[in-house]
Chain A
């Protein structure tokens, strides 16, 4: 977590980057005047105040439905726990984004289980795929279920409360030796999508693999992510939300806030601290402190969204 970055806009870093640890579910994001801030799911009063003046949405990621290895033999169970936490929130978020790896092996039954559980939140869910969602022989199950209205491998944009949301796909056509990949067609679409848009429009970009280079030795980054960020230059508020690395990491660079969410299925090691980025087995008592969701909070007039990461427990 690189919280040492200097804020260049005179906004108090503490106010902006409260990266709070919830009791175990996801990240609740609040866009306050374009500023991403994380809201604690537990903070009902603040959430109510938020709803009056902005937009709050949830991020859930890396469900890996079907995973049953020692790092978490019951990934379905922990997804259910996350969903129960969302259902218990005092103020209903506007919608949810899912940043990929819904399934572990792209099996129809895994997608079915994921839908059955996630739909219990009764929230609209905007998905982008992870590499685990494209493993079926015909590579069609993800698109059939989640790809309506999207382009290419599944990218799209939409607007909510004056915020422009862009869902990108960086898990296809990966090149040997390389990182995540957006590709020329998607980048051209992105440039077109942003063209003529007011620079004061708060932008939220979400994709599975981090768009910034977290740790290339483990493939944690996107080869042409810099080109996407070039297209976003000049916008006053840009928030980039990712999954894939199964741990919270945040970085602020100028007007861009980067944030990765926890998985609901299993933790992965911090960069370079293990032989590989594979599932990390921890004591049973510790597991739920490393899984979670995020909440994001947008307030009209603020420059950054607030992001709150909440673990499933602890």
Chain B
């Protein structure tokens, strides 16, 4: 009983550590079949999102006034680190029907 409480306390400590900005995460978004997956991600301030294109056609990741990738050829990636909270809508400037959003809390 005492042991399991201690273990529980240790777990809490690890989780708290994980929540500090020092442990910023990288969240992956893939591009397959002209679709951002997942189309909506929620991240914390300081986190990085990495988009990787798996299509045989180049795509871009553009959030007006915020960030803009080069044309990503097959298997190319683009990363952006979010320093401020907000909703960052983005799209592919070559195939504008492809849209997504990053919610930064």
Which of A177, A217, A218, A279 meets B56, CB within 8 Å?
A279
Chain A residues closer than 8 Å to B74, beta-carbon distance: 69
Question: In this complex, what residue of B is CB-closest to A171?
Answer: B94
In contact, B34 and A135 (Cβ under 8 angstroms):
no
In contact, B35 and A276 (Cβ under 8 angstroms):
yes
In contact, B96 and A176 (Cβ under 8 angstroms):
yes
Q: Which of B45-63 contact A (CB under 8 A)?
A: 55-58
Chain B residues closer than 8 Å to A137, beta-carbon distance: 70
Chain B residues closer than 8 Å to A175, beta-carbon distance: 96
Least Cβ–Cβ distance between B51 and chain A, in angstroms: 15
Contact-residue size bin, chain A (C-beta under 8 Å from the other chain):
20 to 34
Contact pattern, B 67-104, Cβ under 8 Å of A = 1, otherwise 0:
00011011000000000000001110111110100000
- A70-B70 contact, Cβ under 8 Å, with A174-B96, A176-B91, A276-B35: no
Q: Is B42 an interface residue (CB 8 A)?
A: no
In contact, A105 and B91 (Cβ under 8 angstroms):
no
Docked pose: A70 CA to B55 CA in angstroms: 12
Which of B58, B96, B99 meets A132, CB within 8 Å?
B58
Chain B residues closer than 8 Å to A174, beta-carbon distance: 93-94, 96
In contact, B58 and A135 (Cβ under 8 angstroms):
yes
Q: Is A216 an interface residue (CB 8 A)?
A: yes
Q: Which residues of A contact B (CB under 8 A)?
A: 69-71, 104-106, 131-132, 135, 137, 174-179, 216-219, 275-279
Given contacts A105-B71, A135-B71, A177-B99, 16 further A-B contacts (CB under 8 A): A105-B73, A131-B94, A132-B58, A135-B58, A137-B70, A176-B64, A176-B99, A177-B96, A177-B97, A179-B97, A218-B34, A276-B33, A276-B55, A278-B55, A278-B57, A279-B57
